[in-house]
Structure 1
């Protein structure tokens, strides 16, 4: 599925948002959200405070791009599949690849996510951002699944599959974050997410190949 390339301005905006998100995640890990201010995040990211508030409403909201990064990558990978190629296998491949710590960048991103999910347990505002990111991911996943499932697919089944798959990945990431399992191997995000998806197969029409 082809998508319109981002303009230079859009790429710069996305890069700035991700820089701010990484700065926020680092400070939350070091100090905790309660002892981190928007000013601290802006200073570490090397941007003006007004720039911070141009993109984000709160300090907790600043980590949304980081929390959404894996889901964005999964959708991009899934969108490369062709209709009729096997939705279950395509979804599993996209999930496994997006959560596999195949390089230093992905490994660091997963570790930052673990720290944020642990912090979210005691921070309702941060937890709300995580839930919002998952809701938005579900909404963006549905049209990708609809294209792959074909024009005859039941819209309700597509929507339910998007919700279930998103929920399964969320549960897997939260379960992993609560343990000391590594980013690879048994108990890793990729392993748990694929396991959760497979648990859904029996009851989901689109995934029951």
Structure 2
């Protein structure tokens, strides 16, 4: 079945969410730019306001609060978009690949810059994660996005595995792969490695965390 095209209202909402998320990410990332050995300006990050994010994204404060409960929530769409690309690549990838290789392949593609998906997005994620080390509310958003992605990953894996798959095994694989992606991004963000190295690190972490699990090879 062909997926219905989003309505004009839905597309406008998505564009607004994206603009707000990018503005919020840039502001938070500015306070995580000191480097792996530096200490981000936690006080400055706390000083970022919803008003500032709204102004930077060209929307009213009322519009901001229509979509987001807190200023930290505003970065969630940007983080979720990266996860969504990983899951889409996994779902649409070659069905003949064993699940471990499919997970690694999709992670590499999702974290590799391409037309329409510049590496600057990874730099924003790096800044957010560096700031989040000193901002519990921002860190909570990061963990919430990954919790949601783990549940969605289990659903994608269930489709790949077929009806005979053990539901517990699906959750274990999803948890291991999702944790691998999260740890890879956090480790990469804390380093000075260029964006191009994030993909290889993610594939390595996913491979090592799923190696001890019984995976499908059909």
Superposition TM-score, scaled by structure 2 size: 0.88
1:39 has 2:48 as partner = no
**8 Å contact kept, 1:81–1:148:** no
Q: 1:207 to 1:70 in 2, by over 3 A?
A: farther
Q: Alpha carbon RMSD of aligned pairs, Å?
A: 1.9
Higher relative contact order (CA 8 A, sep 6+): 2
* Structure 1 equivalent of residue 140 of structure 2: 128
Q: 1:87 aligns with which of 93, 99, 106?
A: 99
* Structure 1 equivalent of residue 39 of structure 2: none
* 47-56 or 29-38, which deviates more: 29-38
Write the distance in 2 (CA, Å) between the matches of 1:2 and 1:161: 29
* Structure 2 equivalent of residue 202 of structure 1: 211
Write the distance in 1 (CA, Å) between the matches of 2:170 and 2:29: 37
* Structure 2 equivalent of residue 147 of structure 1: 159
Shift in Å, 1:8: 2.4
Q: 1:79 to 1:2 in 2, by over 3 A?
A: farther
Shift in Å, 1:142: 1.0
* Structure 1 equivalent of residue 79 of structure 2: 67
Q: Which consecutive unaligned segments of at least 5 residues does structure 2 have?
A: 32-43
Q: Which consecutive unaligned segments of at least 5 residues does structure 1 have?
A: none
**8 Å contact kept, 1:95–1:193:** yes
4+ residue stretches of structure 1 with deviation over 6 A?
Answer: none
Shift in Å, 1:163: 1.1
Write the distance in 2 (CA, Å) between the matches of 1:154 and 1:3: 29
Shift in Å, 1:4: 4.2
* 134-143 or 108-117, which deviates more: 134-143
* Structure 1 equivalent of residue 11 of structure 2: 11
